[in-house]
């Protein structure tokens, strides 16, 4: 029993590590989906004339920074489901950056199309949450 | 001034002065994440605050002492340093959160980063304190704060499911994210029960020269004013639950909260939110800076009073000036205002026993309150909520820091 102690402790720690990783990925996915929903909402408000351009640009930059930070954390994890989600996060980051440019240029048509791209990535993240780790 | 007008004014200023960065941020986060499930925390915090505010007004009206003055006299200077240091530390953090809230409102309105607004906002608050009277602070800013009634109007316009809202008033265990649920519950309690509120109220009662004749006024203002204020905090939660939860938006920044009123008011919603956040936080910043200066000056036996000229209460004026500088420093270095708000609200809850237990002893001491001592219900409610908030804070803060989420 004394010999089994360290082994059991190691197994426990390994399992806890795996569980922690799974939970961590689920939490990152949920946060990314939330940021995608936020970008969608910000674009919707700007397109409806309910939010000023200066606010929308700054807020979308904040979304981009937050997505980028989450993506980096996913990139640091071993390949697997995480890399799929990191891929979605990369596409989301790029869509948000382009959306911000469209808002800066007051290009409503392009902003509307980019909002649809953000929504598509959000759906992908929501699906990943449902079926994922 | 007629009694009825005094009561109306007291209630209106309580409502206008109730919401601040803490209650707006924590209620919005709770509604976005857990729907109506955390309404009970708003109700419980408000109930406890009604008791505490009524007690502090009663102490001042009957004994002619503020909480800080009576505490120092009853327990001695050495003991008093403990609650003084604790409340001062928490108050500086909360003051930083409120100044941050005003700066965020200006950032939302102009697009200029919130850090740049820290110094101008500090100077504005300082100038209002330096040049203004207690009446200006108490009534002027609180009357402007009535813009926060927009949250209640929004909650009504969005037609939330009434039965579900009512169910939220009953405490229930969370179905998911337990750590986050309890962290937000304790943040809401901390936001409702920040000690500066009742410390400020007792000083205000003396500034307004209350006597035993004003006990009825005190009870009415405390009960109705704080109840309506609690309804406003509940309205923020309800609106967030209707607007953010179905979209899957979890609140991690004020930029997200800024869209809270857009569904209810369209184009005006964004600007109403900016005005509500800015004015509510400005009013709170004024009250906290004053409350801190009151507490320090009363504790050390210095001259104090917002109606005195600064040179007549120089150390009192210096105290709020220093508090403003320290709190503004937190914003200037770029600490995220929402995170600062969350942490300061939980710390406020964790330190509640230090600020309230000696106060409860005073409220049961006939030397101070004569025949107007607390009843068992008041003592029990306050002790229960204070201990609950403290235990939840001590348990949930490490969990939250470890789990992030």
Question: Cβ contact (<8 Å) for B247 and A30?
Answer: no
Instruction: Check residue A10 and give its pLDDT.
Output: 44
Chain A CA closest to residue B245: A34
Question: From CA B152, how far away is CA B233, in angstroms rounded?
Answer: 9
Chain B contacts in chain A segment 92-131 (CB below 8 A) = 122, 126
In a domain, A13, yes or no: no
Question: Cβ contact (<8 Å) for B404 and A27?
Answer: yes
Q: Where are the domains of chain B?
A: 3-78+131-276+338-403
Length of chain B: 405
Chain B CA closest to residue A38: B249
SS (H, E, C) chain B: CCHHHHHHHHHHHHHHCCCCHHHHHHHHHHHHHHCCCCHHHHHHHHHHHHHHHHHHHHHHHHHCCCHHHHHHHHHCHHHHHHHHHHHHHHHHHHHHHHHHHHHHHHHHHHCCCHHHHHHHHHHHHHHHHHHCCHHHHHHHHHHHHHHHHHHHHHHHHCCCCHHHHHHCCCCCCCCCCHHHHHHHHHHHHHHHCCCHHHHHHHHHHHHCCCCHHHHHHHHHHHHHHHHHHHHHHHHHHHHHHHHCCCCCCCCCCHHHHCCCCHHHHCHHHHHHHHHHHHHHHHHHHHHHHHHHHHHHHHHHCCCCCCCCCHHHHHHHHHHHHHHHHHHHHHHHCCCCHHHHHHHHHHHHHHCHHHHHHHHHHHHCCHHHHCCCCCCHHHHHHHHHHHHHHHHHHHHHHHHHHHHCC
Length of chain A: 133
> Each residue of B278-296: pLDDT tens digit?
999 999 999 899 999 999 9
In a domain, A42, yes or no: yes
User: Pick from B248, B267, B405: which is nearest to A33 by CB?
Assistant: B248
- For chains A and B, CB pairs below 8 A equal 63
> Each residue of B177-186: pLDDT tens digit?
888 899 899 9
Chain A CA closest to residue B251: A34
In a domain, A10, yes or no: no
| Chain centre distance of CA B84 | 18
pLDDT tens digit at each of 405 positions of chain B: 567 767 776 776 677 668 899 999 999 999 999 999 999 999 999 999 999 999 999 999 999 999 999 999 999 999 999 999 999 999 999 999 999 999 999 999 999 999 999 999 999 999 999 998 888 887 777 788 889 999 999 999 999 999 999 999 999 888 888 888 998 999 999 998 888 888 888 888 888 889 999 999 999 989 998 999 999 999 999 999 999 999 999 999 999 999 999 999 999 999 999 999 999 999 999 989 999 999 999 888 898 888 888 889 999 999 999 999 999 999 999 899 999 999 899 888 888 899 899 999 999 999 999 999 999 999 999 999 889 888 888 887 776 666 544
Chain A CA closest to residue B248: A34
In a domain, A2, yes or no: no
Residue A118 parent element (H or E): helix A108-131
Number of domains in chain A: 1
User: Pick from B250, B270, B404: which is nearest to A50 by CB?
Assistant: B270
Domain range for A30 is: 26-131
User: Pick from A34, A50, A51: which is nearest to B250 by CB?
Assistant: A34
Q: For residue A78, what is the DSSP state?
A: P
In a domain, A95, yes or no: yes
In a domain, A94, yes or no: yes
In a domain, A3, yes or no: no
User: Which chain B residues have a beta carbon less than 8 Å from that of A123?
Assistant: none
Question: From CA B371, how far away is CA B131, in angstroms rounded?
Answer: 39
């Amino acid at each position: 029993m004394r010999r089994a102690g360290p082994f059991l402790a190691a197994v426990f720690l390994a399992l806890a590590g795996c569980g922690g990783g799974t939970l961590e990925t689920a939490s990152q996915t949920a946060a990314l989906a939330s940021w995608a929903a936020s970008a969608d909402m910000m674009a919707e408000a700007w397109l409806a004339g309910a939010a000023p351009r200066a606010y929308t640009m700054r807020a979308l930059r904040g979304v981009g920074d937050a997505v980028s930070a989450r993506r980096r954390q996913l990139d640091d994890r071993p390949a697997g489901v995480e890399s799929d989600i990191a891929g979605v996060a990369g596409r989301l980051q790029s869509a948000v950056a382009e959306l911000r440019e469209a808002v800066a240029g007051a290009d409503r048509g392009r902003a509307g199309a980019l909002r649809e791209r953000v929504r598509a990535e959000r759906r992908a993240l929501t699906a990943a949450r449902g079926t994922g780790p | 001034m007629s009694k009825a007008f005094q009561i109306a004014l007291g209630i209106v200023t309580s409502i206008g002065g109730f919401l601040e960065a803490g209650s707006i941020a924590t209620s919005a986060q709770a509604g976005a994440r857990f729907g109506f499930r955390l309404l009970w925390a708003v109700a419980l915090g408000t109930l406890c605050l009604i008791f505490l505010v009524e007690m502090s007004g009663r102490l001042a009206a009957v004994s002619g002492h503020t909480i800080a003055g009576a505490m120092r006299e009853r327990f001695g200077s050495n003991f008093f340093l403990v609650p003084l240091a604790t409340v001062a530390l928490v108050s500086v953090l909360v003051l930083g959160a409120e100044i941050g809230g005003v700066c965020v409102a200006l950032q939302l309105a102009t697009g200029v980063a919130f850090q740049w607004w820290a110094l101008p906002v500090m100077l504005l608050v300082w100038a209002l304190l330096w040049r203004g009277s207690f009446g200006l602070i108490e009534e002027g800013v609180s009357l402007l704060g009535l813009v926060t009634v927009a949250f209640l109007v929004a909650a009504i316009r969005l037609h939330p499911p009434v039965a579900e809202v009512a169910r939220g008033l009953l405490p229930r265990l969370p179905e998911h994210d337990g750590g986050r649920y309890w962290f937000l519950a304790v943040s809401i309690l901390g936001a409702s029960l920040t000690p500066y509120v009742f410390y400020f109220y007792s000083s205000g009662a003396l500034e307004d020269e209350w006597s035993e004749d004003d006990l009825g006024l005190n009870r009415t203002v405390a009960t109705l004013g704080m109840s309506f204020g609690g309804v406003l905090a509940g309205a923020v939660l309800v609106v967030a639950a209707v607007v953010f939860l179905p979209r899957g938006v979890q609140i991690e920044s004020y930029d997200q909260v800024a869209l809270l009123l857009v569904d209810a008011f369209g184009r005006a919603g964004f600007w109403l939110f900016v005005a509500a956040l800015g004015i509510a936080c400005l009013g709170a910043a004024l009250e906290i800076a004053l409350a801190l200066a009151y507490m320090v000056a009363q504790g050390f036996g210095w001259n104090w009073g917002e109606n005195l000229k600064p040179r007549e209460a120089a150390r009192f004026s210096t105290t709020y000036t220093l508090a403003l500088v320290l709190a503004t420093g937190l914003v200037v270095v770029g600490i995220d205002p929402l995170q600062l708000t969350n942490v300061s609200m939980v710390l406020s809850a964790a330190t509640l026993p230090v600020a309230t237990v000696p106060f409860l002893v005073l409220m049961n001491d006939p030397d101070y309150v004569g025949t107007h001592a607390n009843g068992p219900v008041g003592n029990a409610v306050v002790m229960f909520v204070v201990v609950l908030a403290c235990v939840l804070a001590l348990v949930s803060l490490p969990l939250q820091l470890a789990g992030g989420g």
